[in-house]
Structure 1
């Protein structure tokens, strides 16, 4: 499977999902292997329309996660009034400091370069070889023992609810337990 990403290569917040949306339908081809493609205004809406409700949920949960950080956090966007505006006008765009990575990335190598790295879904973490290397805090959340890599439920409202987003934020902010 081709691996590529939307967003910025040195993003502060990097999310990893196994399968990509139908980007080739939108642009005529998928981004090249290992590349990062900054989205532009309207791309998230178009990808949601082409890929269906599941992709709208991924983008919504990503934006909601960023807005769940405290106002003083470096991870919380300060260039939008709410998560909906941020999703539509900034998320995964050139200066957003966010990335959404698809396929088989070397997350540990990228984690050594800085930023926060979130693997969405236990199965994807297992396929990336990180599930067994991580410390499981409960049945749904894990953290790599030495790198800023986190494993959480898939970015879907039922799997990563608002309450679970708060757990993830607390883990990223340095809390050592998941409730």
Structure 2
């Protein structure tokens, strides 16, 4: 993690996920390591496996999210911004995860419209590629919502 700006992964990644809390990471941990995601999950448990899985499902261009999660996630195209107070200027796609993250970013919620099929739990900015999402947990962000978001960003459905 970059100590100064609390970014996990590549600060210039095309997709940024905004989360309220950081995982525990060993000082030697590096996102570029061949087993970086495996180490992150091992140090933080099943909760972070779920987070990494949903991130992979929202990121992979094909449908092989398991391989993407284990080998490519956070290495180039994704970053996680912890407790961010502004959007990552380098990213072209933003996933603001959870109410705490949205509040910290001080987004104008009137500029977001619900994605159809998500019971208004996922909202997209009317002019920008910013998604307000529930926290990355299967109970709040099930596969049907993941497919709705994937479709919205131009990715094929997983199911």
Q: TM-score with structure 1 length normalisation? A: 0.71
1:89 to 57, 63, 71: 71
Deviation at 1:16, TM superposition (A): 0.9
Deviation at 1:117, TM superposition (A): 0.7
Deviation at 1:15, TM superposition (A): 1.0
Q: Which runs of at least 4 in structure 1 moved beyond 6 Å after TM superposition?
A: none
> Number of matched residues?
148
Contact 1:122-1:131 within 8 A present in 2 as well: no
**Are residues 1:50 and 2:43 paired?**
yes
Contact 2:122-2:131 within 8 A present in 1 as well: yes
1:101 matched residue in structure 2? 81
Find the aligned partners of 2:78 and 2:56 in 1 and give their Cα distance.
Answer: 10
* Residue-by-residue CA offset, 1:73-132 (whole Å, 9 max, x unaligned): xxx16xxx8211111111101xx312122112411x62xx55111111133212321152
2:59 matched residue in structure 1? 66
Find the aligned partners of 2:147 and 2:92 in 1 and give their Cα distance.
Answer: 19
Contact 2:85-2:104 within 8 A present in 1 as well: no
**Are residues 1:161 and 2:142 paired?**
yes
Structure 2, unaligned runs of 5 or more: 155-159
User: Which range moved further: 81-90 or 50-59?
Assistant: 81-90
1:17 matched residue in structure 2? 19
1:132 to 100, 109, 116: 109
Find the aligned partners of 2:111 and 2:100 in 1 and give their Cα distance.
Answer: 13
Structure 1, unaligned runs of 5 or more: 30-36, 68-75, 174-179
Find the aligned partners of 2:5 and 2:110 in 1 and give their Cα distance.
Answer: 22
Please give the root-mean-square deviation of Cα atoms over the aligned residues, in Å.
2.5
SS of equivalent to 2:109? coil
1:170 matched residue in structure 2? 151
Change (3 A) 1:135 1:99: same
